[in-house]
């Protein structure tokens, strides 16, 4: 079981000054307190593995699933290293690809781009 002794989240503080409402955003660091260097080593390794072996290659949801299952249960690493490895790989995946865009949103964007390109070419 993984225990996170210290996790802080971003908060928004609101203040009112002289009758005018001022919204002030105060960002606090999000921390995961380390219990060993294994987690951090795993994060770095997973992050680099993604860019070394997966960047630019087609991935399906099943590929991502298989990667996570294989690596979270890898007996060659400690539980903390494996968790960090998967976390680093996912961080790089999200950084590299727009995986949260919907298919409908992509169709709309592509249609808009095509319409602009056609209108330029027809002049």
Distances in whole angstroms, Cα of residue 4 to Cα of each of 31, 34, 80, 97, 105: 9, 8, 12, 28, 36
Q: Which residues are 15's β-sheet partners?
A: 22
Q: Under a CB-based contact definition with an 8 Å cutoff, are residues 47 and 91 in contact? A: yes
pLDDT value of position 32:
76
- Confidence band (pLDDT; 50, 70, 90) for 104? low
Mean pLDDT of the chain: 75
pLDDT value of position 80:
96
Q: For 23-57, what is each residue's pLDDT tens digit?
A: 666 666 777 788 889 999 999 999 999 999 999 99
Angle (CA) 50 28 15, round 5°: 140
Lowest-pLDDT range of 45-54, 68-77, 98-107: 98-107
Angle (CA) 97 101 44, round 5°: 30
């Amino acid at each position: 079981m993984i225990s996170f002794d210290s996790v802080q989240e971003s908060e928004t503080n609101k203040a009112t000054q002289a009758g005018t409402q001022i919204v002030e955003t105060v960002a606090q660091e999000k921390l995961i307190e380390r219990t060993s260097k294994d987690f951090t080593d795993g994060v770095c390794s997973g992050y680099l593995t993604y860019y070394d072996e997966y960047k630019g290659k087609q991935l399906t949801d099943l590929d991502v699933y298989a990667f996570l299952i294989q690596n979270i249960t890898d007996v060659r690493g400690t539980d903390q290293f494996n968790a960090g490895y998967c976390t680093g790989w996912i961080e790089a995946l999200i950084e590299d690809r727009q995986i949260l865009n919907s298919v409908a949103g992509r169709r709309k964007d592509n249609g808009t781009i095509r319409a602009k390109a056609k209108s330029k070419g027809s002049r």
